[in-house]
Amino acid sequence: MNVMLIDYGAGNVASVERALQRLGARSQRSHSPQCIAKAEALLLPGVGHYAALIRALDERALRAPLLDALQRGVPFLGVCLGLQALYETSEEAPELSGLHLLHGSVRSLPATVKLPHMGWNQLQLARPSRLLEGISADAYFYFAHSFAASSNGDAVALSNHGADFAAVIERKNIFGVQFHPEKSGAPGAQLLENFLRLAA
C-alpha cells in the first residue's frame, strides 16, 4: 500500500508521514494531477486556512483528478481541513466552493467557548464506525480548529466544543476526521492503521 499525501504547500505534512512510517506504510508526497490520478490511496492533511487549501487545489488543477479518484472508489482520508474541504462551503471563506462530496457547510464554532478548539477531546459515536474499530469509546484525540461541519448524516462520531460537530465521517471509500490522528498518540495510530487496512 502506497499512500499519496496531497501536499499543497502548507502545514506539517512530515508528521503525517512519520505516523504512517511507524505503521510500516509507504507514503509519497505529491501535488501533481497525474500522481493523484494514479494513487492507490489518498490522504489530504490540512492545517491553516480553508481558502489556502481550496485555492491550492484549483491552482494546481487537483480538483478534477481528486474528484475522479474518489468517484472511482479510491480510499481517501481527509484530516482537519482535509475533512472540511469535502463539504459544499465554509464560513471561513464563503466566496469559495468546496468539493461538494458531502452535504452542508462548515461553520464557526460558537464564540461562547474559547477558540481555536485546541487540545484533547473525546468522541460520541453516532453509528458503527469502521475507522474507530478497536478504539476505546473514551479515547481522546487532538483537535486544533475553529470551524467544523455540523453533525449531519455522514458523521459517524461527534465531538462537542460549545456545540456538537462532525468529528468522524465515513461514506463508502471517503473518510474524514476533524482531529489530528497523527498527533493523537495510540488511538490516533490505531485509526490510521484502520484506514490502511480498509484501503488495502
Partner 1 sequence: MSLAHRIIPCLDTDGARVVKGVNFVGLRDAGDAVALAARYNAEGADELVVLDIAASRDRRPTFLETIRRVAAELAIPLTAGGGIRTLDDARAAVRAGADKVTVNTAAVARPALISELSREFGAQAVVLAIDAKRVNDHWDVMVRGGRESANGDVLVWAQQGVELGAGEILLTSVDRDGTQLGFDTPLTSAVSRAVSVPVIASGGAKLPEHFAEIFSEGAADAALAASIFHDNLQSIRELKEYLSARKIEVRLPC
Interaction site with partner 1 (CB under 8 A): 10-12, 14-15, 18-19, 22, 47-49, 111, 114-124, 136, 140, 142-146, 159-161, 180, 182-186, 188-189
Q: How many residues does the chain have?
A: 200
Which one is catalytic: 117, 170, 180, 193? 180
- The CB-of-26 to partner 1 minimum distance in angstroms stands at 18
> Three cell numbers at 174?
471517503
Task: Pick between residue 63 and residue 117 the one whose CB is nearest to partner 1.
Answer: 117
Task: Pick between residue 22 and residue 26 the one whose CB is nearest to partner 1.
Answer: 22
Measured CA to CA in angstroms, residue 169 lies from 60, 77, 95, 147, 153 at distances of: 26, 10, 24, 15, 9
> Three cell numbers at 179?
482531529
Q: What is the DSSP string of 120-134?
A: EEE-EESS--STTTT
Task: Pick between residue 9 and residue 153 the one whose CB is nearest to partner 1.
Answer: 9
- The CB-of-68 to partner 1 minimum distance in angstroms stands at 28
Which one is catalytic: 80, 117, 170, 193? 80
- The CB-of-99 to partner 1 minimum distance in angstroms stands at 19
59 a catalytic residue: no
CB 9 within 8 A of CB 32: no
- The CB-of-22 to partner 1 minimum distance in angstroms stands at 8
Question: Would residue 121 be called left, alpha or beta, if left means φ above 0 and alpha means ψ between -120 and 50 degrees?
Answer: beta
35 a catalytic residue: no
180 a catalytic residue: yes
Which one is catalytic: 17, 170, 182, 193? 182
Q: How many CB atoms lie within 10 A of CB 67?
A: 14
Catalytic residues: 80, 180, 182
